[in-house]
Amino acid sequence: MEIIIERDAEGVARQVADRFESVIRHGGRFGVTLGLATGSSPVATYQELIRRHREEGLSFGHARAFLLDEYVGIPRSHEQSYHRFIREHFTSHVDIADELVISPDGQAADPVGEAARYDRGIADAGGVDLQILGIGGNGHIGFNEPTSALTSRTRVKTLTEQTISDNARFFDSPEDVPVHVITQGLGTIMEARRIVLAATGESKASAIAAMIEGPFGAFCPATILQMHPAVTVVVDEDAAGELQDAEYYRFIQRQKSRLEG
């Protein structure tokens, strides 16, 4: 794992955007497949990518995107559906074709079949080149809650009460938060060729420490990333607050910038 500790959320956004830009610029004319997360963590990165699109000509014209997850039972027009969220916060502001921004259908008559279909769709598209992730306070990635199978595929999951209460801030009341989601599985996420996880704020500090330094296991699903060969974790000082070996990660960063600089 590459671990980058930035001073603040803007620094985190720039680091994550740099990785998107690199994949997009080197993707060639056959294009790249991006894996997009929703929630608050990636929003600053999306704003930075929109800025680079407008001011620096960064083009998403050869990109397609798959979302990590979607709530079950709310329509795509609902302001909290992830289908709508990603358009409002990112894709409608850049030159990615709308029909190539793909998400599970949370209103499918058969959500179980829809999840399997979605999983096959990612594989049929050749897999994800760069996946951006956030992390839940309980260590979930996507909506793979604690005890999710480490090899799981895209499927229907039941949210924990903690996640429902964390996400209630986006809804009128906790009762309005859907209990079920369709989420890419941990096995699905692990097939992405590169992964970048962004986290900011003190509320993520214990999950970040558990993911990077804790024992590997399904009770902190994000620990599966310890097994991935190309993961970058970008955190601000607050989210890095519980890392035992933070000085070592900073030392590596300094050595790397000396070599590159």
Q: Which residues are catalytic?
A: 69, 138, 140, 145
Count Cβ atoms below 10 Å from residue 53 Cβ, excluding itself. Answer: 18
| Binding-site size, ligand F6R (CB under 6 A) | 14
Stretch of 36-44, 48-56, 99-107, 214-222 lying at the interface with ligand F6R (CB under 6 A): 36-44
Smallest separation, CB 41 to ligand F6R (Å): 3
Residue pair 61/92 in contact by the 8 Å Cβ criterion? no
Say how far apart CA 249 and CA 234 lie, in whole Å: 11
Q: Which two tokens stand for residue 82?
A: 């992830």
Say how far apart CA 27 and CA 18 lie, in whole Å: 14
Which of 19, 140, 153, 157 binds ligand F6R (CB under 6 A)? It is 140
Nearest Cα neighbor of 1 from 227, 210, 209, 222 is 227
Smallest separation, CB 77 to ligand F6R (Å): 18
Nearest Cα neighbor of 227 from 184, 256, 195 is 195
Say how far apart CA 128 and CA 131 lie, in whole Å: 7
What is the number of the residue whose Cβ is closest to ligand F6R? 134
* 83/140 with CB nearer ligand F6R: 140
Residue 37 interacting with ligand F6R (CB under 6 A): yes
Considering only residues 39-68, where is the footprint of ligand F6R by CB under 6 A?
Answer: 39-41, 68
Which of 38, 91, 148, 232 binds ligand F6R (CB under 6 A)? It is 38
Stretch of 46-54, 100-108, 139-147, 208-216 lying at the interface with ligand F6R (CB under 6 A): 139-147
Residue pair 140/146 in contact by the 8 Å Cβ criterion? yes
Residue 141 interacting with ligand F6R (CB under 6 A): yes
Considering only residues 68-97, where is the footprint of ligand F6R by CB under 6 A?
Answer: 68-69
Stretch of 55-63, 96-104, 130-138, 223-231 lying at the interface with ligand F6R (CB under 6 A): 130-138
Considering only residues 208-237, where is the footprint of ligand F6R by CB under 6 A?
Answer: none
Residue ranges with strand state E in 59-192 = 63-67, 69-71, 101-102, 130-133, 155-158, 180-183
Stretch of 35-43, 90-98, 100-108, 239-247 lying at the interface with ligand F6R (CB under 6 A): 35-43
Smallest separation, CB 43 to ligand F6R (Å): 8
Smallest separation, CB 261 to ligand F6R (Å): 32
C-alpha atoms less than 13 angstroms from C-alpha of 195 in its C-beta half-sphere: 26
Residue ranges with strand state E in the chain = 2-6, 32-36, 63-67, 69-71, 101-102, 130-133, 155-158, 180-183, 194-199, 231-236
Smallest separation, CB 201 to ligand F6R (Å): 8
List residues binding ligand F6R (CB under 6 A).
37-41, 68-69, 134-136, 140-143
